[in-house]
């Protein structure tokens, strides 16, 4: 097995390999160059630092590495079904951890589905430590009509606190582009995924600091439910347990079965 830069493959080839590497996984990944490109841009994935795993020249897996400042993130690591259970995971990720240290990163982070016990154990063997548990939500808030103002996602990003997981962090939200849309109701702003999808994907929600805890966020969720009647609202499994979790539960959403562990390796 050898590793080559992901930048050697076309966007089309990367999208297909990405999808194949997550076949029969807990969460299915569509083969969509458009979505793959959007993810790279918003999450700051570096194809020069990402790697393709090859056996006999054939691509059998990939690791996507994102970078911000002196921190890097394993945005995804997958292996095609025919080459799983061959202990390739550590052989793939180990060299990338060395590259991260060599370029001066102080931390490498990742998220792993908590129910994926072999993957959690692999990362722990490599020295990653559990940081916090991440959860998601789904449900339909009680609708309450209100007039929404469409704004740019950066308006939400400016209101988000520091210390959020990578996919919820201000730089990620600020980098989201069409078909993602953002809407404001008073001091609250929400960012949504493709509005034509059967489920309303809430990418982020934030409230101006001086009025947090006074119901503005919940009111915005109810307004969105009114504008999109019958559509369930979903939040990816990237929300830290704690105050954010309680906000969604109070709004009438429930947590699905899957959860994630955010893990970190410190240089």
Report pLDDT digits (tens) over 154-205.
999 999 999 999 999 999 999 999 999 999 999 999 999 999 999 999 999 9
Q: Domains in the chain, please, with CATH?
A: 2-105 (3.40.630.30), 137-262 (3.40.630.30)
What torsion, rounded to 10 degrees, do the Cα atoms 170, 124, 118, 111 define? Answer: 0
Q: What length does the chain have? A: 267
Q: Where are the beta strands (DSSP E) in the chain?
A: 2-5, 45-55, 58-68, 71-79, 107-113, 129-139, 149-151, 181-185, 188-192, 200-207, 233-240, 260-266
Among 26, 25, 19, 97, smallest CA distance to 59 is for: 19
What confidence score (pLDDT) does residue 106 get?
97
pLDDT tens digits for range 204-263: 999 999 999 999 999 999 999 999 999 999 999 999 998 888 999 999 999 998 999 999
What confidence score (pLDDT) does residue 267 get?
82
Q: How many CA atoms lie within 13 A of 166 on its CB side?
A: 28
What confidence score (pLDDT) does residue 222 get?
97
Is the pLDDT score of 25 beyond 90?
yes
Whether residue 179 is preceded by a cis peptide bond, meaning omega within 30 degrees of 0, is yes
What torsion, rounded to 10 degrees, do the Cα atoms 107, 108, 112, 116 define? Answer: -100
What confidence score (pLDDT) does residue 243 get?
87
What confidence score (pLDDT) does residue 180 get?
97
Q: What is the pTM of this model?
A: 0.94
In contact, 159 and 206? CB cutoff 8 Å: yes
Q: What percent of the chain has pLDDT over 90?
A: 96
């Amino acid at each position: 097995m050898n590793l080559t830069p992901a930048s050697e493959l076309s966007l089309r080839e990367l999208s297909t390999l990405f999808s194949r590497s997550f076949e029969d996984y807990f969460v299915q990944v569509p083969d969509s160059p458009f979505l793959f490109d959007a993810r790279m841009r918003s999450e700051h994935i570096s194809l020069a630092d990402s790697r393709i795993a090859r056996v006999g020249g054939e691509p059998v897996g990939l690791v996507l590495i994102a970078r911000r400042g002196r921190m890097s993130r394993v945005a995804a690591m997958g292996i095609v079904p025919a080459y799983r259970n061959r202990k390739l995971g550590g052989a793939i990720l180990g060299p990338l951890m060395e590259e991260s240290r060599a370029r001066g990163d102080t931390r490498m982070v990742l998220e792993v589905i908590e129910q994926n016990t072999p993957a959690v154990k692999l990362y722990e063997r490599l020295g990653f430590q559990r940081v916090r548990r991440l959860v998601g939500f789904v449900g339909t808030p009680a609708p309450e009509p209100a007039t929404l103002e469409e704004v740019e996602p950066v308006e939400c990003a400016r209101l988000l606190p520091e210390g959020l997981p990578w996919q919820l962090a201000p730089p990620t939200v600020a980098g989201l582009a069409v078909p993602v849309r953002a809407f404001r109701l008073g001091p609250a702003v929400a960012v949504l995924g493709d509005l034509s999808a059967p489920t309303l994907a809430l990418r982020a929600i934030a409230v101006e600091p001086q009025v947090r805890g006074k119901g503005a966020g919940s009111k915005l969720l109810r307004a969105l439910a009114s504008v999109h009647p019958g559509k369930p609202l979903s939040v990816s499994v990237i929300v830290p347990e704690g105050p954010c979790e309680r906000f969604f539960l109070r709004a009438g959403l429930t947590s699905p079965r899957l959860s994630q562990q955010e893990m970190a390796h410190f240089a």
